[in-house]
Every structure is written in C-alpha cells, then in structure tokens.
Chains A and B, each alone.
Chain A
C-alpha cells in the first residue's frame, strides 16, 4: 500500500514513506514542511503550486509523489542560493509584482521557465507564458513587468 519515494528537494536528498495517492504538493507542504508552494484550485488551472521538477515547471497538484520518485524538485524556498534573492524574486520586489502574495511562488517558478526558454521575453511573450497562472490581485501588469525586467537584466 505504501511506497518509498526518494526526492531531492532544494538540493537535499530525502526519503518518504507515502500512500500512492499523495500529491506532490501535499508531500512538499505537509511532509517536508515547505509551505511556500500554495494550492489555489482543484483542477490544474491556477498555477499557484508550480515547482520545478528536474528543471521543468510543473503543477505539483497534478503530480503524484510516487511519480516524482528520483527527481530533483525545486520550490520557491530553494530558488535562491545562499546569497539572498534570485534575480526574478528581486525583480518582483522591485516592480511591485505581487500584492497578497499567494500566487507569487507559482508565478516566480513559472517565470524561471519562461526566461529559461526565452531570456529576452517580451511583454506579449510573458503574457502568453503565464497562461497557466492566475493572479486575482495585480491585474498581471506588474507581474509581466517584473518578469520582462528580470529577463532584460540577464535573468
């Protein structure tokens, strides 16, 4: 019934004993205690729970923990190195890219992939790239600005 899952979370290898139905987002929040990955919907629409799995942005509410076995997972808590903020985090702060902050971790993790794929992403590229993320506060204006600015600064 239960399965052993080995994950490297934010650079640290860990083992978990889980039910197969456990979702990755719940593993991160309840087992690892990384509550920066928020859950905003049930249907894979909002993107609040986005993390990087082997470097790719995924919605951790739609991944079973057992499917992530052996993967490297990066959450918002592990995005920056020891020395402060990741440039995208800094850009969100500089450009008022957040209000209530709930969608923010997912926005930032998605932005990592947007800029990975397209370092010089334009306003329109970023708006398109955020199709899987919902923000209810900002009207997206400053989120887009934050991501474009981070890209322009060489990420």
Chain B
C-alpha cells in the first residue's frame, strides 16, 4: 500500500512544530508513526503535510521524582516497558506498554502518539485514566496540562487543539496497579483492556480506580465499580461484586466481527475482576 503525497517538515523544537502545525493547512504530527502511517497506507488518512517531531531533543526522557513519573512524549513503548523507574514506581504502566502490539511496534510507537491518536483499542488510555495521569501539551498559547479524564473526548478524538503538541505525560506512581487485556487475535489491539489501581489502608481498600478501553469509543473510568470496592477488604467476593458494576460505565459498547459490544461488556467484568485481584495483591 502506498500513502498519497504530502509535504514533510522536520521540526527541531516544540516551538517550531507548533509553528508549522499552525501555519500549514491540513498538517499532522508524526513521531513513531505507528498509528498514522498505517492509516495513510490505506489512504484512510491523507494529510497534506507531516510535521516530524521524532528528533526533538529531550522529548523521550523518562524521569521520576519518587511520587510521579514524567515520561517524554517520544518515549517508545519499549523504553517505557523497560525503564527501571517505571517498573519500580508504576509496574502497571510498564505492563501496559509491554502489552502494546508487538516487539517491532513497541520499538517505534510512542506514548505521545498513542495518546494523541486515541484509538478505542489502544492500551495506554485505560492506564492513564486509572492512574490519574496528566498530559502536558504545548500550543500557540503556551503550555497546559490536561487531566487524562478530560483528555479522551471521543473515538479518535482528544482535547488537543490542532496545533498542540504533547510533550510529556506525568503519571503518579502506584504500586498497586495492574493492566490486563483481551488481545484481538488478528490486530493485537485491546478487545478489552482493564487498568486497575488499588490503594490499601490497613486491610481495607482506601482508593480504587478502574480504567477500561476497547469497549466503547473512548476509554472510560468505571467509577461505580471502583467505589464499590472501597471501604472494605479486597476479598474475592468484594472484588467480584465490584466488577459486576462495570457495565454502568458503558453507554454504547462497540462491536466488531470478533466481539460484539455485549460480549465486550461481559469481558470487561471478567478482566476487571482479574485486574483488581492482581492490583490488590501488589498493593499489599
């Protein structure tokens, strides 16, 4: 397959990227390109210009201050999955990155690109929601941070303006997290992906957040299920009862040839139960 023609600009800085995005009609950002290039090959996307931010220095750094991780937008899935700071501080995030696509895809795909593309079957969004991450973006009006819960707007749609560039993601560290997915047998996307965070206080669940992608057009938080688990021990029964509430999070589950919306909703309950159990064990 052969993309249609476009102009190519390589930005040397974030400011230049913003400038190019602002001035060029119908321009798109490209970093690793692992969401965009496949769409362009199928000619489902035909941008007039690409602004390549792949070489901007400093944007792929991963750092930790002990409470939070700051992950540069250009960090590849492999580098997130492998980073000691991520594995130690937020194992769920490393697990999520390692669950994306395959070795080759993880070597090229970036966290910023994945978030900006906001594919319903992407793996990161659920984790971002459950972890309460913040996306930092720079646009014509300067830098701003967007809470993950505000970031994902709809299928393939985010809160980013057309000329905004994600520069990093701040992710609170969390020991008690887990991401589990039901992998599509052909595409490797998440049919359902559940990211669960559990914080324990004494023997009881003090905090809980559950992010789910794959089921609906955008990733969602299963607040009712999370609330149901709080205030008591993370016992198998209470986890099962909490997981039974995930259906509340879905307005219109999506279906495809492999799994209907109804079945995805069923799987979401199953994977929520499993993810909560792992997260709680890690929290303890």
A residues in contact (CB < 8 Å) with B: 1, 3, 19-21, 23, 42-45, 47, 50, 53, 56-59, 61-64, 66-67, 110, 113-114, 129, 131-133
4 more contacts with CB within 8 A, not counting A21-B40, A67-B52, are: A1-B7, A20-B6, A23-B3, A133-B102
CB contacts (< 8 Å) of A53 on chain B: these are 107
Binary contact track B84-111/A, C-beta < 8 Å → 1, others 0: 0000000000000000011111011000
Closest chain B residue, CB of each to CB of A59: B104
Determine whether the beta carbon of A21 is less than 8 Å from that of B38.
no
Flag whether B186 is at the interface (Cβ < 8 A).
yes
Determine whether the beta carbon of A66 is less than 8 Å from that of B8.
yes
CB contacts (< 8 Å) of B3 on chain A: these are 21, 23
- Min C-beta distance of A19 to chain B, whole Å: 7
Question: A1, A44, A114: which contacts B103 (Cβ < 8 A)?
Answer: A114
Flag whether B41 is at the interface (Cβ < 8 A).
yes
Closest chain A residue, CB of each to CB of B183: A131
For A3, A53, A61, A67, the residue with the greatest tally of chain B CB atoms inside 10 Å of its CB is A67
A-B contact pairs, 22 of them (CB 8 A): A1-B5, A1-B7, A19-B5, A20-B5, A20-B50, A21-B3, A21-B4, A42-B1, A42-B38, A43-B41, A45-B186, A47-B104, A53-B107, A59-B104, A61-B41, A62-B41, A62-B105, A64-B30, A67-B30, A132-B102, A132-B103, A132-B188
Question: B2, B52, B102, B108: which contacts A21 (Cβ < 8 A)?
Answer: B2
Interface residues of B in 53-93 (CB under 8 A from A): 54, 78
For B6, B30, B37, the residue with the greatest tally of chain A CB atoms inside 10 Å of its CB is B37
Flag whether B33 is at the interface (Cβ < 8 A).
yes
Q: Which 3 pairs, one residue from A and one from B, show the smallest C-beta to C-beta distance?
A: A132-B102, A20-B8, A42-B1
CB contacts (< 8 Å) of B182 on chain A: these are none
Question: B1, B40, B102: which contacts A47 (Cβ < 8 A)?
Answer: B102
CB contacts (< 8 Å) of B188 on chain A: these are 45, 131-132
- Min C-beta distance of B198 to chain A, whole Å: 27
CB contacts (< 8 Å) of B23 on chain A: these are none
CB contacts (< 8 Å) of B5 on chain A: these are 1, 19-21
Flag whether B42 is at the interface (Cβ < 8 A).
yes
Give A43 to B188 CA distance when docked, in angstroms. Answer: 11
Determine whether the beta carbon of A50 is less than 8 Å from that of B37.
no
Give A1 to B8 CA distance when docked, in angstroms. Answer: 8
Question: B30, B41, B187: which contacts A45 (Cβ < 8 A)?
Answer: B187
Closest chain B residue, CB of each to CB of A133: B102
CB contacts (< 8 Å) of B4 on chain A: these are 21
Flag whether B34 is at the interface (Cβ < 8 A).
yes
CB contacts (< 8 Å) of B33 on chain A: these are 62-64, 67
Check A63/B37 contact, CB under 8 A, given A43-B42, A56-B107, A113-B103. Answer: yes
Give A90 to B4 CA distance when docked, in angstroms. Answer: 40
Determine whether the beta carbon of A131 is less than 8 Å from that of B102.
yes
Determine whether the beta carbon of B7 is less than 8 Å from that of A44.
no
Check A57/B2 contact, CB under 8 A, given A20-B8, A43-B38. Answer: no
Determine whether the beta carbon of B8 is less than 8 Å from that of A110.
no
Closest chain A residue, CB of each to CB of B52: A67
Check A67/B102 contact, CB under 8 A, given A3-B8, A20-B8. Answer: no
- Min C-beta distance of A22 to chain B, whole Å: 9
Binary contact track B184-207/A, C-beta < 8 Å → 1, others 0: 001110000000000000000000
Determine whether the beta carbon of B38 is less than 8 Å from that of A44.
yes
Determine whether the beta carbon of A58 is less than 8 Å from that of B108.
yes
CB contacts (< 8 Å) of A45 on chain B: these are 186-188
Question: B6, B50, B105: which contacts A44 (Cβ < 8 A)?
Answer: B105
- Min C-beta distance of B257 to chain A, whole Å: 15
Determine whether the beta carbon of B54 is less than 8 Å from that of A131.
no
